[in-house]
Structure 1
Amino acid sequence: MMPPLPPARRARPALVFALMLAPALASCAVQPSIRYPSLLPRAIESRSDAEPDIAIPVAVADPATDSVLADLRKTLDKTTAAFAPAAEAAERLASVAQGDKVGGERWIAAQTALANLDGYRATTSSALTDIDLLAISRAADGKPDYPAITSLHNAAQAAFEEQSARIAAIAERLPGA
């Protein structure tokens, strides 16, 4: 039989076993390099999604713009006033030319009256373009909408559309249309 081991030698195999088992157990432990996300609110969650308040600029009276608009209004009024009797004359000539052949004297007179109406419509279109350019110029300068420009634009657009419709109606009545 073997003699019993001294107490210091008996503890040694347990120590060796614990040292061999330590790396295996260490792999099961929580590794300090893994970080879990915080449950605190993130910066994106604390921002506001509300639309920002935008100050709407108010148009200030502009004498230069008002002067240009007054001239354009006079042109538009004069053209509209002259268009009405010219359109009535063109309608009468178109009625007379209905029995005439294309290229006849009455047909040529009616076409000439239509060309006269096109001149009035071109003047209205030019005024409308000038109004648009005035609005575009103000917008390019960063100025707010000017109510007088909008009002005159609407009036000029309505006059242009009315003149175009009347010219088209008269042209339809002519032979060869």
Structure 2
Amino acid sequence: MNRPPLRPLAPVLATILLAGCAADPTAYPSLAPRAVEKLGFEEPETVPAPLVADPALDARIAAAAAKRADAARAFDAAATRAERLARAARGAAAGSDRWLDAQTALAELDSLRAAHGEVVGVLEDMAAQRAQALLPAYPALEKAREEAKAAATAQTQRIDALTRALAPATASATA
């Protein structure tokens, strides 16, 4: 067997392998902050997207506003009637004719408030669709939403005040 002698190369190979282990034991990496660490972890400022007029959305907002105005007028007319009936029923026993008339008017108010609430829901859906599309808030839509929500809250408070003015229904009055 003719093998080349490796014995003469052994010291050279050992020197090469040991040279890889040789390092300066006093040189450590710097613990000073690196340039990238000095920047911080805050989100960078983003420039808001420019607001682009949306005629189709403006038309939908106008239609919803018109429907809301109609619902508000109907509610106000019915609320005036319900207030008159509630004043007439003040002090009347639960189950009396005046009390029943006032309760019927309150039920009508609830129905009209629901029509107004439907418009609030439509406006909320429009805003949600814009948010899902990652579009910026649309000022006309936000204004219409806030006005509709404020009107809905006022309607609820008006109904609650009329309800409190009437005698509570009792089990014996309905039996």
Per the normalisation by structure 1, the TM-score is 0.74
Task: Give the 3 Å change call, closer, same or farther, for CA 39–156 of structure 1 in structure 2.
Answer: closer
Task: Give the 3 Å change call, closer, same or farther, for CA 33–145 of structure 1 in structure 2.
Answer: same
Partner of 1:54: 46
**Which of residues 126, 145, 151 is equivalent to 2:143?**
151
Task: Give the 3 Å change call, closer, same or farther, for CA 172–40 of structure 1 in structure 2.
Answer: closer
Equivalent pairs: percent with the same residue? Answer: 39
Structure 2 residue 68 is the aligned partner of structure 1 residue 73: no
Gapped runs of 5+ residues in structure 1? 1-30
* Structure of greater Rg: 1
Deviates more, 1:146-155 or 1:92-101: 92-101
Residue 168 of structure 1 deviates from its aligned partner by 0.5
What letter matches 1:48 in structure 2? L
Structure 2 residue 55 is the aligned partner of structure 1 residue 63: yes
Partner of 1:127: 119
What letter matches 2:103 in structure 1? Q
Residue 33 of structure 1 deviates from its aligned partner by 3.5
Query: Deviations for 1:41-93, whole angstroms, at most 9, x for unmatched residues?
Result: 63444x42365231101221112211111111011111111222211110111
SS of residue in 2 equivalent to 1:85: helix
Distance in 2 (CA, whole Å) between partners of 1:114 and 1:64 is 37
SS of residue in 2 equivalent to 1:89: helix
What letter matches 2:84 in structure 1? R
What letter matches 2:77 in structure 1? P
Gapped runs of 5+ residues in structure 2? 1-22, 170-175
Residue 39 of structure 1 deviates from its aligned partner by 7.2
Partner of 1:6: none
Query: Deviations for 1:78-122, whole angstroms, at most 9, x for unmatched residues?
Result: 111122221111011111112322112111110110011111211
Count of paired positions:
146
Partner of 2:95: 103
Query: Deviations for 1:106-156, whole angstroms, at most 9, x for unmatched residues?
Result: 111101100111112111111111111100100101111100110101110
Structure 2 residue 154 is the aligned partner of structure 1 residue 162: yes
